């Protein structure tokens, strides 16, 4: 009686047990709400600086505020 064990299946089961069963967002890293908030604020600042450098002559800065806040909210909510 030869009992063989499928090592690949055992590895997959162990990896699935170690993975957190929390929600999965579109960010490629594991984050909590504070991490996503920090990423949103960082994106807000970067977008504002780029907007002021390249687009402020043509499009008002308030448009950038709306876009940056919407992106930040999306990252915190769905990220």
Across the 79 residues of the chain, what is the mean pLDDT of every consecutive 10-residue run? 74 67 78 92 96 93 95 92
CB 69 within 8 A of CB 44: yes
Where do we find the tokens 């600086």?
49
Q: What pLDDT score does 57 carry? A: 93
- 65 torsion bin: left (phi>0), alpha (psi -120 to 50), beta (else): alpha
CA angle at 74 for the pair 55 and 79, rounded to the nearest 5° = 120
Percent helix, strand and coil across the chain, each to the nearest 5? 65, 0, 35
The structure's pTM equals: 0.66
Q: What pLDDT score does 63 carry? A: 95
């Amino acid at each position: 009686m030869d009992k063989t064990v499928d090592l690949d299946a055992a590895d997959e089961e162990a990896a699935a047990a170690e993975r957190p069963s929390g929600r999965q967002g579109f960010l490629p890293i594991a984050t909590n709400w504070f991490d996503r908030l920090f990423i949103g604020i960082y994106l807000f600042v970067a977008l504002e600086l780029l907007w002021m450098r390249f687009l402020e002559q043509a499009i008002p800065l308030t448009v950038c505020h709306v876009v940056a806040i919407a992106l930040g909210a999306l990252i915190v909510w769905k990220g």
